[in-house]
Amino acid sequence: MDVLLVDGYNIIGAWDELKRLRDEDLDQARNLLVEKMAEYGSYRKRRVIVVFDAYEVKGIENKQKHFNVEIIFTKEQETADECIERLIKELKNVKTKVFVATSDFAEQRTIFGQGAYRISARELAIEVQNIEHEIEQDIKFHQHQTVRSTIPLEEDIRKLFEDWRRGKK
């Protein structure tokens, strides 16, 4: 399974919607990013790990899981970039492609050197928007889809059976 590592604060700072939210409530900006990454991971069938920098915070590394997204707050004296580099070494193998979402140029160069793939914040935003659009189209398609029976039935009989199936009569 492919893995997407996300430099959380880098993406929050790069996406206008999250940047505005960050200025009002950082926790909500993080939560919205995690929700979007959960949708992305589910749709693209990728394991998603979001790394938040806790460089100035005392304590040990904190790992959580929300909406099937792994969230890591780095340990004391470790930057998100250092954590991501460590995770690339742990996760990358013949069967696993590792993608890193960041717009940090220095980090991108390091990522390439370790054999991971880069996704810029802008590219990730476009991909997330495309996924949201595809999901909307899928929902519209399924809402307008009529159930086709292999047994030819008159519309009033089909409606009666459907009502029975749903427990309406």
CA distances from 141 to 12, 44, 135, 136, 145 (A): 32, 20, 10, 9, 6
Residue 56 has pLDDT above 60, yes or no: no
3-state secondary structure 104-116: CHHHHHHHHHCCC
Map out the domains of the chain as residue ranges. Answer: 3-140
Instruction: Give the angle 13-14-18 at the CA atoms, nearest 5°.
Output: 65
Average pLDDT, the chain: 90
pTM reported for the whole predicted model? 0.81
Band the pLDDT of 165: cuts 50, 70, 90: confident
Residues 98-130 have pLDDT tens digits of: 999 999 988 888 888 888 999 999 999 999 999
What is the architecture of the domain spanning 3-140?
Answer: 3-Layer(aba) Sandwich (3.40)
State residue 48's pLDDT score.
Answer: 98
